[in-house]
């Protein structure tokens, strides 16, 4: 699911020049020759060997560690004000949803006691 979501993200200003991403849900070492022929893709793997195969990727994500060996992509890996604002809004929405769920469960509990 996350792989498909990543494949559908476009970056303003470069989305037109970048071909549509092809999602590979899971790749292993047997897929290396196929990946070498792909122009643009997003993939998931558990095999650490891919981290050393820098010619196969522009950005490598290992859990929450995002890496790129391409200097022109380094600025994209840093948090900016928009990222922080999105995170703040998501955290706020999560808190509100948690509060609403807790309120509904308390209302149901209290009505059964009376």
- pTM value is 0.58
- Per-residue pLDDT 10s for the chain (114 aa) are 566 666 666 656 555 555 667 788 889 999 999 999 988 888 889 999 999 999 999 889 888 888 899 998 888 888 888 889 999 999 999 999 888 887 777 655 555 544
Question: Cα–Cα distance between 23 and 3 in angstroms, integer?
Answer: 6
pLDDT value at position 50? Answer: 93
CA 91 to chain centre: 17
pLDDT value at position 3? Answer: 61
Residues with Cβ < 8 Å from 23, sequence gap 6 or more?
3, 4, 6, 7, 41, 42, 43
pLDDT value at position 40? Answer: 83
């Amino acid at each position: 699911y996350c792989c498909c979501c990543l494949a559908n993200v476009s970056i303003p200003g470069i989305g037109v020049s970048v071909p549509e991403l092809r999602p590979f849900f899971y790749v292993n070492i047997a897929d290396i020759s196929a990946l070498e022929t792909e122009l643009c893709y997003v993939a998931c793997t558990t095999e650490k060997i891919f981290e050393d195969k820098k010619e196969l990727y522009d950005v490598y994500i290992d859990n929450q560690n995002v890496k790129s060996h391409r200097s022109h992509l380094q600025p994209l890996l840093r948090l900016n004000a928009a990222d922080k604002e999105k995170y703040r809004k998501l955290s706020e929405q999560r808190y509100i949803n948690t509060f609403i769920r807790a309120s509904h469960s308390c209302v149901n509990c209290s009505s059964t006691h009376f």
